Chains A and B, each alone.
Chain A
């Protein structure tokens, strides 16, 4: 025996490592709706499989916890065992010797606290209220678009039918093909094999292939009228479905063009007007009317309530949050909302040769950063007080901005804005931070023991969130909290007066597909409140699922124009899949509508 040996991974070690990697991927693609008790039990057993066996609270305590969770899931647990689990977890968290034990106990303690009611219900024999999400992507999509359906249609070359299928739940197929944040992909079951299907990319192929697809026929007229305040994604979605159900939907939009944040928030290099206009035209072609440049104040709101059978408030979140630092009123300081709104009306500010600083770490900050670069700024710097990985912006947006030579200054908190003699912005002073203790899932920035940094600049854009301008409605008795209109999950605000609200103005700033969800929800419930139950047909025949699904195969990502070329113009940045790429990507779809629980409960039912 040698005194020391070089150690190589054995086949067994590699296999276990591979299993762990698979389990990470599998966790990401975890189906929604499984019994939470079973999930906790499985987690406890996994932690136990990692214990060394030395200290008591981990080895014995966690075993007892796992066993009791099993018994609860099986419906054979004794009364009082939830308290016992909590006691054991407290002991393990308090007294285990290493993180294998106490970190497991900490994590489980949080979970047990959150699902306590569910645990108690299981113990009491009330059974499990878990509802398995049969088709993960459809469940993950807030609008519940029939994703396997349109992927199959796209694969079959039936592009127009694919667009029709998307429109059954979402009247913005083109806009969403370009800018949807695709929560569907996060839960795609294909992730259990390799990586999620590029669902948005496939939708783009369908859109490009389909050309102009007229909207379906509306149901017979009901004679009812609904006023929609706000021509953004939520308002237009509600209008589209209400119109199709046979009501007359009239949209009142305060700006010169329809589209809301899709027009006045999202830059054209991500969503060219032609795509957005195509979606909006199809909506208007159903008979929806739109009155532009029409701001609805309190009096006008009351008039709409009097003139219409129902009102849907979908005014979005178009006010800016202020930086709240010295010098923020200086010339050269503007908000993201102002910048992007101007861009929406093609009213481009003069950034040529200027040094621009963007403050913020979300997608809007990235939109401003990349817009500033395209406006000819000399330098563009994005200042953020946390780490890059803490940014709420999509990773590809951040990386895209960096590729376009924008600079990212992270761990820097704005302190004040210095001005020159003329009162114009001269510099943004920032205070370096260190990532501190975790708070709500990410480290809280804490002042670093470093000197302030002076970032010389001509323009400061504050992209630190939007607010809701709902005062006019609040004054007329619409309940609000910090600007947000207080709507129920049904989008109802005042059931008696048939006032509904949804989208950003009720939820706070969110995504287009969330706004579509609200619009669709509101349309269904307004229809119901008007005394109807119109079910719009879902009559596109979906191709049968073929069983030939390829084994692990790479995901095709959409190409982008070279950074050096695209950074100077507002032309669409992202390319489309080739036919070959599209076919491969479609073939990766596992057709969860047909396999697994989808064939039992995933019915394509009208809502």
Chain B
């Protein structure tokens, strides 16, 4: 332990504790901007400065550690002047447009400027122009970048894709795409972790809300909305709902209140995914040809990663489409038929915790409903993807708290407890094992049997390398593993390729913690939210009277009325894909 004095108050901290954390122990807040715990402790913004007795210059609190006997002041005129001057300098190169910026309210620069009471407008702002293809799912606006390097380190250390780099040096240095490896789409998973870890609006997901409204107000269009499992764990965070208010039912009511025709649940197609993927897994294990495991395929960030990094292993992915795409295909075939409308009149909107889903809905190879007789050339299965953040922005005009809860619409609105945990790491695996067990044994396992797949919430969300387990299913040993975060995924795959480990089935989610921590989720600067959201999803699982995908009544009906059975020819046409063919 180390003893020191901060603002004349003694404090004792563990060795290696930063000045920032030591001050926090005393309830002393030191403003930070570039700092991101463990990921980006670089001292670039020079905002978290403090005075240390005996040290000539001001010291950054974020990346300097306490020493025995240190005397620290965080509240002197010198400290205040330097912090403020540095924030003013940052603002002098920042395109300050808070009123129209998507990060208004969650922007760290805005918060720091307020905290330091920086009220003098900067005379001449010298911000760089935005130079970016506005059509990409991920938008980088250089005019708002403060060069904190968070995105660089988040992508390097957590996602291991090294998409962002520091370009050039000196006054013209800037953050941009790593050189020599092509365009964004040539190297990026589009997971959006850089977005959720950006302190400002420099990184964002493409805003598609205008296209949503266009369809909503088009009298010819029937708007059908699906909502991903993880969205319900987070949608209330930035619209002022208490956790008690932010229920699934209120979410359905709010979306309905926007004026859409049908509010359905992606949980339905998550259950459907389990039926297809679980059956595929059993086939895979029966006719095993490769020493590599079968991998889940519902995360488009992960599929992109596999295609980019391990192209020779793409065929190991389950051919089952993601719940989003299964939903789209079912909506424009079975559902259109059921309600007797021309599927091309349906505008299919998906609300996702994800930025990569914006890419996925545009993958031309996924539009299979267009080929259903008599054929609808050019029709997409999913027309539009909105992130949870975009949903929150849409809901600002509605007093959501005042709405009564309402169920999802029928027939694509039911989901089981197995489906809702798709929204957190390990959930797909758990759900798949629950149903695979049933398919083999003929009776349901205890739903808690596979709880080893749940994340260890005592670790930082990105630090949980991978979890593995071995289960006995009617005498057959099934070795499974789960990883989230692409850095972890890469390490797991490298271990598999080296032969260090062997598995039968592996679940990967690109974002640390899974979709709960997705790149499209509401942003709370510097706070990892995945664990808390996972708890919400787990509670929804436990409280759901049905906890097995194969018991979803709408799924059972779909097979009976339309798809026949898992892996049927129809299912192959509509619910499966070959990721090798996907346009990146």
Q: Which residues of A contact B (CB under 8 A)?
A: 33-35, 38, 73-75, 127-130, 132, 544-549, 551, 594-595, 597, 599-601
Not counting A35-B168, A73-B172, A132-B166, a sample of 11 additional A-B residue pairs whose C-beta atoms are within 8 angstroms of each other reads: A127-B168, A128-B168, A128-B169, A130-B169, A545-B64, A547-B52, A548-B54, A594-B63, A597-B166, A599-B63, A600-B153
For B, the interface residue count at a CB cutoff of 8 angstroms equals 28
Contacting pair B170 A127 (CB below 8 A): no
Closest to B15 in A: A544
Contacting pair B63 A132 (CB below 8 A): no
Contacting pair B149 A127 (CB below 8 A): no
Assuming A35-B168, A544-B65, is B179 touching A129 (CB within 8 A)? yes
Assuming A129-B179, A600-B44, is B67 touching A546 (CB within 8 A)? yes
Residues of A within 8 A of B149 (CB): 600
Assuming A33-B169, A34-B170, A544-B16, is B55 touching A127 (CB within 8 A)? no
* Residue B152 CB within 8 A of the other chain: yes
Residues of B within 8 A of A128 (CB): 167-169, 172
Distance between Cα atoms of A597 and B43 in the complex (Å): 9
Contacting pair A38 B170 (CB below 8 A): yes
Q: Per-residue 0/1 for B62-87: is the Cβ within 8 Å of any A Cβ (1 yes, 0 no)?
A: 01110100000000000000000000
Distance between Cα atoms of A476 and B63 in the complex (Å): 57
Contacting pair A35 B170 (CB below 8 A): yes
Chain B 153-178 interface residues, beta-carbon cutoff 8 Å to A: 153, 166-173, 176
Assuming A74-B172, A548-B55, A551-B56, is B167 touching A127 (CB within 8 A)? yes
Q: Which residues of B contact A (CB under 8 A)?
A: 16, 41-44, 52, 54-57, 59, 63-65, 67, 149, 152-153, 166-173, 176, 179
* In the A-B complex, the 9 residue pairs with the closest CB atoms: A128-B168, A34-B169, A599-B42, A544-B65, A547-B55, A600-B42, A132-B169, A35-B169, A547-B59
- Pick from B42, B43, B63, B169 the residue with the most CB of A within 10 Å: B169
Distance between Cα atoms of A424 and B197 in the complex (Å): 80
Contacting pair A127 B56 (CB below 8 A): no
Distance between Cα atoms of A601 and B42 in the complex (Å): 9
Closest to A598 in B: B42
Give, as a whole number of angstroms, the nearest-CB distance from A194 to chain B.
15
Distance between Cα atoms of A595 and B46 in the complex (Å): 12
Residues of A within 8 A of B42 (CB): 599-600
Closest to A595 in B: B43
Give, as a whole number of angstroms, the nearest-CB distance from B120 to chain A.
27
Closest to B168 in A: A128
Contacting pair A600 B56 (CB below 8 A): no
Give, as a whole number of angstroms, the nearest-CB distance from B48 to chain A.
13
Provide a sorted-by-A list of 28 A–B residue pairs whose CB atoms are within 8 angstroms.
A33-B169, A34-B169, A35-B169, A35-B170, A38-B170, A38-B171, A73-B172, A74-B172, A127-B167, A127-B168, A127-B179, A129-B179, A132-B166, A132-B169, A132-B173, A544-B16, A544-B65, A545-B64, A547-B52, A547-B59, A548-B55, A549-B56, A595-B43, A597-B166, A599-B63, A600-B152, A600-B153, A600-B166
Contacting pair B168 A130 (CB below 8 A): yes
Residues of B within 8 A of A73 (CB): 172
Closest to B64 in A: A547
Closest to B59 in A: A547
Contact of A599 among B43, B56, B166, B167 (CB under 8 A): B43
Closest to A594 in B: B63
Contact of B166 among A544, A548, A601 (CB under 8 A): A601
Residues of A within 8 A of B169 (CB): 33-35, 38, 128, 130, 132
Contacting pair A127 B176 (CB below 8 A): yes
Give, as a whole number of angstroms, the nearest-CB distance from B186 to chain A.
16
Residues of A within 8 A of B56 (CB): 549, 551
Closest to A541 in B: B16
Residues of B within 8 A of A546 (CB): 67
Contacting pair A35 B172 (CB below 8 A): yes
Residues of B within 8 A of A601 (CB): 166
Assuming A548-B54, A599-B42, A600-B166, is B153 touching A75 (CB within 8 A)? no
Closest to B41 in A: A599
Distance between Cα atoms of A382 and B192 in the complex (Å): 68
Give, as a whole number of angstroms, the nearest-CB distance from B171 to chain A.
8
Closest to A544 in B: B65
Closest to B170 in A: A38
Contacting pair B172 A75 (CB below 8 A): yes
Give, as a whole number of angstroms, the nearest-CB distance from A537 to chain B.
15
Residues of A within 8 A of B55 (CB): 547-548
Give, as a whole number of angstroms, the nearest-CB distance from A121 to chain B.
10
Give, as a whole number of angstroms, the nearest-CB distance from B487 to chain A.
14
Residues of B within 8 A of A548 (CB): 54-55
Give, as a whole number of angstroms, the nearest-CB distance from A331 to chain B.
60
Give, as a whole number of angstroms, the nearest-CB distance from B112 to chain A.
20
Give, as a whole number of angstroms, the nearest-CB distance from A122 to chain B.
9
Distance between Cα atoms of A474 and B64 in the complex (Å): 56
Give, as a whole number of angstroms, the nearest-CB distance from B582 to chain A.
28
Distance between Cα atoms of A74 and B170 in the complex (Å): 11
Contacting pair A547 B44 (CB below 8 A): no
Residues of B within 8 A of A34 (CB): 169-170
Residues of A within 8 A of B43 (CB): 595, 599
Residues of A within 8 A of B67 (CB): 546
Distance between Cα atoms of A132 and B153 in the complex (Å): 17
Give, as a whole number of angstroms, the nearest-CB distance from B400 to chain A.
42
Distance between Cα atoms of A546 and B70 in the complex (Å): 11
Residues of B within 8 A of A75 (CB): 172
Residues of A within 8 A of B152 (CB): 600
Give, as a whole number of angstroms, the nearest-CB distance from B365 to chain A.
33
Residues of A within 8 A of B170 (CB): 34-35, 38
Give, as a whole number of angstroms, the nearest-CB distance from A135 to chain B.
14
Give, as a whole number of angstroms, the nearest-CB distance from B482 to chain A.
25
Residues of A within 8 A of B171 (CB): 38
Residues of B within 8 A of A129 (CB): 179
Distance between Cα atoms of A192 and B149 in the complex (Å): 26
Residues of B within 8 A of A600 (CB): 42, 44, 149, 152-153, 166
Residues of A within 8 A of B63 (CB): 594, 599
Residues of A within 8 A of B44 (CB): 600
